[in-house]
């Protein structure tokens, strides 16, 4: 690669440095080419090789997508329930599981897997996911057709489903060393509860074996890309695709996920009304998990302490009145995303009752407070998606530990967030937050099995590609 050809994109480079394909109908998905107007240009450019591979993938998807002859042939094969090896076109079917953040991280993982294996990615879009994402590939569709043979069973797939890779190995339905006939598809169960046999997915021999199946069906709630970097077969290709490892989700996310016009309307209306005029934009993403409870007072203190120590929000002046100059002061908007409303109100009150130290003008907004998670509701998911996208416009970001919702905002925005430490015994630990080492999401439940050595190992210590995550000590992330 000749790096000297790669210069910074123009501020309004709507193709994001060659990441996006030109030629889409702009009206049908305004966000695709308009997002560049709302964000600073990313300093991270996609490699030439990634650009070329994406264009090649798009051509392949068009050739193999729903409705094409190769697709029909592959469906016939699926229905016959046996296969003899790879076909002209081979597929990976993504199925939804868990919240929006989890879903998007696994779509990105499935897409990279498809790219590495020359498979076509099709996603199952139930009603709750409808009208969130535009089609990412030109002149074709990534939506799994509604007449897909087992479409009604997909949501009930789980760890004991007989067609899972682990269960078929265990029950000798398939055998890595035989050349006999195979079932038409394998169910890949890569959820956090997966078994050691399911985790063989991350071994090179198993990867080679899985290539024989025209159809893979995936369910996962994990960003499993870091473990693909540990499969020797993919190492070189991944290095060429992503010379800078910490930009994997940044590029894949911006390539794949474009809000539909409905969601883009929410985003742009909110942006114009509340955020657009501020000189600096800060995002605070607040997520509380049942396994790590904390009182709202303690959490508010944690957020304010983090902001103070890291110089993210100004101190308040205790003198009471603001400085007499009303012009030429800096303005900062603070976008709070949370299921609960109290936090943004308290931060706003603080800067209403007291002047900020340097006369800065602080405005605090929160688009919604849904109170509880409702992944089964389309409008709830649209709001969540709009908030993730708005957060990704931030200049600085505070996120919550363990939250895939936060990972998406940081990845799309290209931001290294300040991560609020997970509460311990209902209290905020000290320090209250720390800066992420990379903008990559964390793989929460990675495999620990060393396929070559045949024993358990600490993959976080394995070397140059991955480290344990700041927020999830057993997790793995690229950096």
Q: Which stretch in 228-236, 352-360, 397-405, 415-423 sits in contact with ligand GDP by CB under 6 A?
A: 397-405
Residue 441 lies near ligand GDP (rule: CB under 6 A): no
The residue to which tokens 């964390």 are assigned: 442
Q: In terms of Cα–Cα distance, which of 146, 142, 195 is closest to 168? A: 195
Residue 313 lies near ligand GDP (rule: CB under 6 A): no
Give yes or no for a cis peptide into 354 (omega within 30° of 0): no
Q: Total binding residues for ligand GDP by CB under 6 A?
A: 21
Candidates 100, 210, 335, 356: give the one binding ligand GDP (CB under 6 A). Answer: 100
d(CA 309, CA 366): 23
Coil, helix or strand at residue 246: helix
Which positions from 42 to 81 touch ligand GDP by CB under 6 A, shown as an x/- string? Answer: ----------------------------------------
Residue 347 lies near ligand GDP (rule: CB under 6 A): no
Q: Any idea what DSSP says for residue 275?
A: I
Residue 383 lies near ligand GDP (rule: CB under 6 A): yes
d(CA 257, CA 134): 7
Q: Any idea what DSSP says for residue 9?
A: P
Residue 380 lies near ligand GDP (rule: CB under 6 A): yes
**What does the buried/exposed string (b/e) look like for 225-241 if buried means 16 or more CB atoms within 10 Å of the residue's CB?**
bbbbbbbeebeeebeeb
Q: Which stretch in 46-54, 119-127, 147-155, 336-344 sits in contact with ligand GDP by CB under 6 A?
A: 336-344
Residue 415 lies near ligand GDP (rule: CB under 6 A): no
- List, in order, residues 6 or more apart from 275 with CB less than 8 Å away: 281, 333, 335, 365, 390, 393
Residue 373 lies near ligand GDP (rule: CB under 6 A): yes
d(CA 117, CA 57): 11
Residue 403 lies near ligand GDP (rule: CB under 6 A): yes
Residue 387 lies near ligand GDP (rule: CB under 6 A): yes
Candidates 101, 214, 226, 411: give the one binding ligand GDP (CB under 6 A). Answer: 101
Candidates 404, 410, 438, 445: give the one binding ligand GDP (CB under 6 A). Answer: 404
The CB-of-408 to ligand GDP minimum distance in angstroms stands at: 8
Summary count for the chain: helices (H), strands (E): 14, 16
The Cβ of residue 291 has, within 10 Å, a number of other Cβ atoms equal to: 8
Please provide the distance, in angstroms rounded to a whole number, between the alpha carbons at the two ends of the chain. Answer: 21
Instruction: Tell me whether residue 102 or residue 333 sits nearer to ligand GDP (CB atom).
Output: 102
Which positions from 260 to 289 touch ligand GDP by CB under 6 A, shown as an x/- string? Answer: ---------------------------x--
Residue 368 lies near ligand GDP (rule: CB under 6 A): yes
The CB-of-283 to ligand GDP minimum distance in angstroms stands at: 10
Residue 219 lies near ligand GDP (rule: CB under 6 A): no
Candidates 375, 416, 448, 474: give the one binding ligand GDP (CB under 6 A). Answer: 375
Instruction: Tell me whether residue 270 or residue 405 sits nearer to ligand GDP (CB atom).
Output: 405
Q: Which two tokens stand for residue 321?
A: 């009145």
Q: Which residue is nearest to ligand GDP (CB)?
A: 99
| CB 52, CB 177: distance < 8 Å | no
Q: Any idea what DSSP says for residue 46?
A: P
Residue 102 lies near ligand GDP (rule: CB under 6 A): yes
Instruction: Tell me whether residue 113 or residue 402 sits nearer to ligand GDP (CB atom).
Output: 402
Residue 302 lies near ligand GDP (rule: CB under 6 A): no
Residue 338 lies near ligand GDP (rule: CB under 6 A): yes
Candidates 312, 337, 398, 439: give the one binding ligand GDP (CB under 6 A). Answer: 337
The H or E element that residue 256 is part of is helix 248-256
Residue 370 lies near ligand GDP (rule: CB under 6 A): yes
| Phi (first) and psi of residue 467, to 5 degrees | -140, 165
The CB-of-336 to ligand GDP minimum distance in angstroms stands at: 8
Sign of CA dihedral 60, 13, 439, 462: positive
Residue 206 lies near ligand GDP (rule: CB under 6 A): no
The CB-of-367 to ligand GDP minimum distance in angstroms stands at: 7
Sign of CA dihedral 153, 159, 162, 168: positive
Residue 169 lies near ligand GDP (rule: CB under 6 A): no
Ranges of beta strands (E only) in 55-209 are 90-95, 119-123, 185-190
d(CA 36, CA 12): 5
The CB-of-100 to ligand GDP minimum distance in angstroms stands at: 3
Instruction: Tell me whether residue 90 or residue 403 sits nearer to ligand GDP (CB atom).
Output: 403
d(CA 188, CA 201): 8
Residue 378 lies near ligand GDP (rule: CB under 6 A): no
Residue 394 lies near ligand GDP (rule: CB under 6 A): no
Q: Which two tokens stand for residue 464?
A: 């140059």
Helix residue spans in 310-403 (DSSP H): 342-353, 378-391
The Cβ of residue 127 has, within 10 Å, a number of other Cβ atoms equal to: 9
Residues that bind ligand GDP (CB under 6 A): 98-102, 287, 337-339, 368, 370, 373, 375, 380-381, 383-384, 387, 403-405
């Amino acid at each position: 690669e000749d790096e000297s050809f790669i210069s910074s994109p123009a501020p309004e480079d709507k193709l994001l440095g060659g990441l996006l394909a030109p030629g889409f109908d702009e009206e049908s998905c305004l966000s695709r080419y308009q997002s560049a107007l709302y964000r600073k240009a990313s300093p991270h450019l996609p490699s030439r090789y990634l650009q070329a591979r994406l264009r090649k993938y798009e051509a392949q998807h068009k050739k193999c997508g729903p409705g094409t002859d190769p697709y029909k042939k592959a469906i016939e094969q699926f229905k016959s329930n046996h296969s003899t090896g790879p076909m002209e076109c081979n597929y990976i079917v993504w199925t939804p599981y868990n919240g929006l953040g989890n879903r998007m991280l696994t779509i990105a993982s499935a897409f990279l897997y498809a790219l590495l294996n020359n498979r076509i990615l099709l996603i199952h879009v139930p009603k709750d996911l409808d009208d969130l994402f535009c089609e990412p590939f030109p002149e074709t569709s990534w939506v799994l057709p509604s007449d897909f043979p087992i479409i009604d069973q997909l949501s009930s797939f789980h760890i004991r489903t007989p067609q899972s890779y682990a269960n078929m190995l265990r029950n000798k339905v398939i055998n890595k060393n035989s050349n006999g006939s195979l079932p038409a598809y394998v169910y890949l169960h890569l959820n956090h509860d997966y078994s050691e046999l399911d985790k063989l997915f991350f071994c090179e021999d198993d990867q080679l074996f899985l290539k024989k199946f025209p159809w893979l069906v995936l369910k996962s709630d994990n960003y499993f890309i870091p473990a693909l970097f540990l499969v020797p077969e993919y190492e070189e290709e991944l290095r060429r695709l992503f010379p800078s490892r910490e930009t994997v989700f940044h590029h894949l996310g911006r390539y794949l996920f474009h809000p539909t016009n409905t969601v883009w309307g929410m985003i742009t209306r909110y942006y114009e009304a509340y955020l657009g005029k501020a000189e600096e934009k800060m995002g605070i993403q607040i997520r509380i998990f049942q396994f790590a409870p904390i009182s709202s007072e303690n959490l508010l203190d944690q957020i304010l302490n983090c902001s103070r120590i890291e110089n993210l929000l100004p101190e308040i002046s205790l003198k009471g009145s603001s400085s007499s100059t009303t012009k030429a002061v800096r303005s900062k908007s603070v976008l709070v995303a949370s299921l609960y409303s109290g936090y943004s109100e308290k931060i706003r009150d603080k800067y209403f009752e007291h002047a900020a130290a340097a006369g800065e003008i602080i405005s605090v907004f929160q688009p919604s407070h849904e109170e509880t998670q409702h992944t089964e509701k389309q409008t709830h998911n649209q709001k969540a998606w709009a908030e993730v996208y708005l957060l990704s416009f931030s200049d600085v970001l505070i996120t919550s530990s363990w939250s895939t919702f936060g990972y998406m905002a940081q990845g799309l925005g290209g931001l290294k967030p300040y991560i609020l430490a997970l509460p311990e015994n209902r209290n905020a630990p000290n320090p209250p937050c720390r800066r992420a080492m990379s903008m990559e999401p964390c793989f929460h439940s990675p495999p620990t099995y060393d396929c070559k050595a045949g024993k358990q190992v600490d993959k976080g210590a394995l070397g140059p590609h991955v480290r344990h995550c700041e927020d999830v000590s057993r997790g793995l992330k690229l950096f």
